Amino acid sequence: MSTTTVQRRSLVTNLRGSLQQVLAAASLILIFIFFSIASPYFLLPANLIGILTAATVTGILALGTTFVIITGGIDLSIGTGMVLCAVMAGVFLTYWGWPLWAGVIGAILFGGLIGFVNGVAISVFGLPPFIATLGMMLVTAGLALVISGTKPIYFKSTPDFQNIMNLSLIPGARFPLGVGIFIVLMVVSALILGRTIVGRYAFSIGSNEAATALSGVNVRRWKIFIYSFAGLFVGIAGVLAASRLSSAQPTGGQGLELQAIAAVVIGGTSLQGGRGSIVGTVIGSLIVAVLTNGLRVTAVPQEWQSVVVGCVILVAVYLDMLRRKGA
């Protein structure tokens, strides 16, 4: 085999590799153009910031879960886990009277703890990720209700808590701090996935777990680490969700995990593991948010929104499979 054929093949592969991302970005732009023509309100700055704000919580969940999905795993507990983290923020700050910083860090670490338990169940006890995190989904949903006594917890003793999400970064305009945090997390997680040992092992495990283990990588430990790490994002999302409403709501959250996974998948990350990117996940999150928002401002009944998002997922995954078959 000559070097030139290899080179040509590699070029084609690289093009194909980024195709899904290009496609996702192109569809985002198309959707954008479509809605800006369809509705005069769509392009208003307030509406655009509204889209980003709406994307923040699920977007952060999606960032964390991208790591898990790249290892070939799945985490169904992120939606309800996030609700439990919000409730725990309420417990720490309102019930126990912790200072603001301690309560926030506590809630974030609590998310890490949920991820750690998932990781142990999967790595040490060998439960399939789907089952382990399905169980955790139910456990966290229930615990949120039990701990809060099924009532919302208000952050009466720490009024500044609501600023974490809502404080405007630009005086006069409304650019919430939460969106800023989302953007910082995008950059941080892209760096971690692309440039650190955590990301490298996530890809290795996802492309071939057996070969990675036989290469002397302690796969069990790294999987626990990655689930715990993704759990931190669940904690952050929980803090922001509670901050946004200035209260910890013990219900809801169910279904958010699927929205986050949808964003990850639309962004080209493979549920089989080994492939994915943070850029893709960000684009995927934006597509879901723009679609939802656009359908609302063009006055499409809300019932139709999930129908459309569902179809987008089917098309996105089908395109991904076509690409894999060709490769």
Partner 1 sequence: MTKDGAQPALLQVVGASKSFPGVQALDNVHLDLRHGEVLAVVGENGAGKSTLMKLLSGIYQPDSGEFFLNGEQIHIASPRHAQELGISVIHQEFNLMPDLTIAQNIFIGREPRVARLFLSDRELNRKAQELFDRLGLALDPTSLVSELTVARQQIVEIAKALSYNARVLIMDEPTAALNDVEVETLFGLIRRFTTPTTGVIYISHRMQELRAISDRITVLRDGQYVDTFDTAPTPVSHVISLMVGRKITGEQRPATAPAVGETVLSVTGLSTKGLIKDVSFDLHKGEILGFAGLMGAGRTEIARAIVGADRSESGTITLHGKKVSIANPADAARLGIGYLSEDRKRFGVLLERNVKENVVLASLVDYVAALGFINDRRIEQTAKSYVSTLRIKTPSTSQLVKNLSGGNQQKVVIAKWLARDCDVLIFDEPTRGIDVGAKDEIYALLNELAAQGKAIIMISSELPEVLRLSHRIAVMCEGRLTAIFDNAEATQENIMDYATRFSAEGTVKQG
Residues that bind partner 1 (CB under 8 A): 1, 3, 6-7, 9-10, 13, 191-192, 195-198, 200-201, 203-204, 207-208, 210-218, 274-275
* Distance in Å, CB of 327 to partner 1, minimum: 9
- Long-range contacts of residues 44-49, Cβ cutoff 8 Å, at least 24 apart: 45/173, 46/174, 47/293, 47/297, 49/174, 49/175, 49/176, 49/179
Cβ closest to partner 1, residue 161 vs residue 229: 229
Q: Which of 115, 140, 139 is nearest to 129 (CA)?
A: 115
* Distance in Å, CB of 198 to partner 1, minimum: 6
Cβ closest to partner 1, residue 150 vs residue 272: 272
Cβ closest to partner 1, residue 32 vs residue 222: 222
How crowded is residue 58: how many other Cβ atoms within 10 Å of its Cβ?
27
Buried b (16+ CB within 10 A) or exposed e, 221-230: ebbbbbbbbb
Q: Which of 74, 92, 254 is nearest to 158 (CA)?
A: 92
Residues making up the chain, counted from first to last? 327
Contacts of 132 (CB under 8 A, 6+ apart): 118, 121, 122, 125
Cβ closest to partner 1, residue 13 vs residue 150: 13
Q: Are 89 and 103 in contact (CB under 8 A)?
A: yes
* Distance in Å, CB of 52 to partner 1, minimum: 28
* Distance in Å, CB of 173 to partner 1, minimum: 34
* Distance in Å, CB of 275 to partner 1, minimum: 7
**Tokens, residue 211:** 């070969």
**C-alpha–C-alpha distance, residues 38 and 26, integer Å:** 18
Q: Which of 83, 35, 32 is nearest to 57 (CA)?
A: 83
**C-alpha–C-alpha distance, residues 207 and 269, integer Å:** 12
* Distance in Å, CB of 53 to partner 1, minimum: 30
* Distance in Å, CB of 139 to partner 1, minimum: 30
Cβ closest to partner 1, residue 2 vs residue 302: 2
Cβ closest to partner 1, residue 197 vs residue 315: 197
**C-alpha–C-alpha distance, residues 92 and 96, integer Å:** 5
Cβ closest to partner 1, residue 133 vs residue 277: 277
What is the greatest pairwise CA distance in the chain? 72
